[in-house]
Copies of this chain bind each other. A is one copy, B any other.
């Protein structure tokens, strides 16, 4: 679980989630990402990318002077499996209990 801490931290920032959302459709160069987030400087984008790479959420393939950034969905899958799913199960149980309480209630 501790190995997933950098992933949680990486996902805590809305700009980084935005970058991941953009990478879901296709890999992008660093320049592409800068164009998609004009309110942030190129250095800012690169810092966020570094954090995403450290968390293994993004991996890089160099091609000449271009850097292609690829999404790696595995850490998100792991967070889902190892941490989120018990909470989703709990929520489902709560809903079921609520539903039954409503149905059993006499008028």
Where the two chains meet, the residues of A that have a C-beta atom closer than 8 Å to any C-beta of B are 2, 5, 8-9, 11-12, 14, 17, 20, 24, 71, 73-74, 76-77, 79-80, 83-84, 86-88, 90-91, 94
Number of this chain's copies in the complex: 2
A8–B12 CB distance below 8 A = yes
A94–B73 CB distance below 8 A = yes
* Least Cβ–Cβ distance between A107 and chain B, in angstroms: 28
Contact check: which of B2, B76, B94 meets A84 at CB < 8 Å? B76
Chain B residue with the shortest CB-CB distance to A85: B80
List B contacts of A83 (CB < 8 A).
17
6 pairs from A and B in contact (CB 8 Å cutoff): A8-B11, A24-B90, A73-B87, A76-B87, A77-B91, A84-B84
